[in-house]
Amino acid sequence: MASTTMRAWEFTHVPTTLASAIKLNPSAPVLASAATLKPDETLVRIHYASLNPVDFKIVEAPIAARILAFRKPATPAYDFCGTVVATGSSRTDLEQGQWVFGMLDTFSPGALADYAVVKRNSCIAVPEGVRHEDAATIGIAGITAWQCIIPRLPQKDRGAANVFINGGSGGVGSFGIQFAKAKGCFVVTTCSERNVELCKRLGADRVIDYTKHNVVDELAKIARENGGFDLAVNNVDIGGDVYWKAQRYLKVSAPYVTIAAAPSLASVLELFKALLIPASLGGGQRKFELVGADPKPSQYAEIAQLIKDGQVKPVIEQIYDMEEAPRAYERLKTGRVSGKLVVKVA
């Protein structure tokens, strides 16, 4: 790689929205070369990046943005698929030009740039037969859905598990439905009317339109028919009554897992209440767990294999050109995206 500069979307502060704050820098410095990489690092030429709500939620929260040590100017987006430019001395498993995917470190420069440096656990080879734009969606959404569901299925007779996914049409939810069905589970999910057919196509056995029905009442009915749920996965804030009344549908030993914790005072207080107040003192009646994306190469490989085998198909609502990144973030911020949004960087 001869060039020492690259294109990168950057911001220094976010007065209102990330979409309005980012500017395309045509000559940002490339932050590493073959000579300066650490042993476990890989320099990647980014071809596709996919966006996640966490991209804007943290930096648009005034307190969080001040506390967290983002390098400035910062480049957003964490999920990527691209080709290897150079590797550190210990990355003998990857070759120059090889296609790889994964997620970038939270406080490192992001994927909306021509090049990025990736750590070992966050970068693996793309299996032959997996589309590169699909691989770009796995980084955060795919691994989060996997870690919420697969390790938490009952060890005995896992295929007979009843799984509830609150919010099935977004990036994490659309992966979650398919992962649970790939393991033979009975899956119930929620979404708005316009995404009911999508969730059914993904494999959901029952879909609750939250705009027309009381979700907890519907879950209680289904639980009476099927013996209760073995796992609840929440992708929609903390969940409100869906958690605080979980005893109506969730088995006594079953966990309630959430990925959604908005960086707001109200959300943080509800999170602390759910995590710290025992059931005997007015807390939730079911075990509450908060899960964040933890990149693991072996799990990335399992997800990619399911995609290669056709058991899982990432849902991509739209692919944007590099110059359209602000418009992509505007769409993401509506909260109405079906599946994932991808930016074609290269």
- Tell me how far apart the alpha carbons of residues 111 and 76 are, in angstroms, rounded to a whole number: 7
- pTM for the whole thing? 0.93
Q: Specify the pLDDT at position 68.
A: 57
> Looking at domain 142-290, what is its CATH homologous superfamily?
NAD(P)-binding Rossmann-like Domain (3.40.50.720)
Q: How many CA atoms lie within 13 A of 288 on its CB side?
A: 24
Identity of residue 265: L
One digit per residue, the tens of pLDDT, for the chain of length 346 reads 658 999 999 999 899 999 999 999 999 999 888 889 999 999 999 999 999 999 998 888 865 555 555 678 999 999 999 999 999 999 999 999 999 999 998 778 899 999 999 999 999 999 999 999 999 999 999 999 999 999 999 876 556 899 999 999 999 999 999 999 999 999 999 999 999 999 999 999 999 999 999 999 999 999 999 999 999 999 987 668 999 999 999 999 999 999 966 656 566 677 767 777 877 777 788 999 999 899 999 999 999 999 999 999 999 999 999 999 999 999 999 999 999 999 999 9
Task: Give domain limits for the chain.
Answer: 5-137+314-344, 142-290
Q: How many CA atoms lie within 13 A of 184 on its CB side?
A: 7
Q: What is 5-137+314-344's CATH topology?
A: Quinone Oxidoreductase; Chain A, domain 1 (3.90.180)
Q: How many CA atoms lie within 13 A of 76 on its CB side?
A: 31
Written as six digits, the tokens of 206 are: 């029952």
Q: Specify the pLDDT at position 285.
A: 85
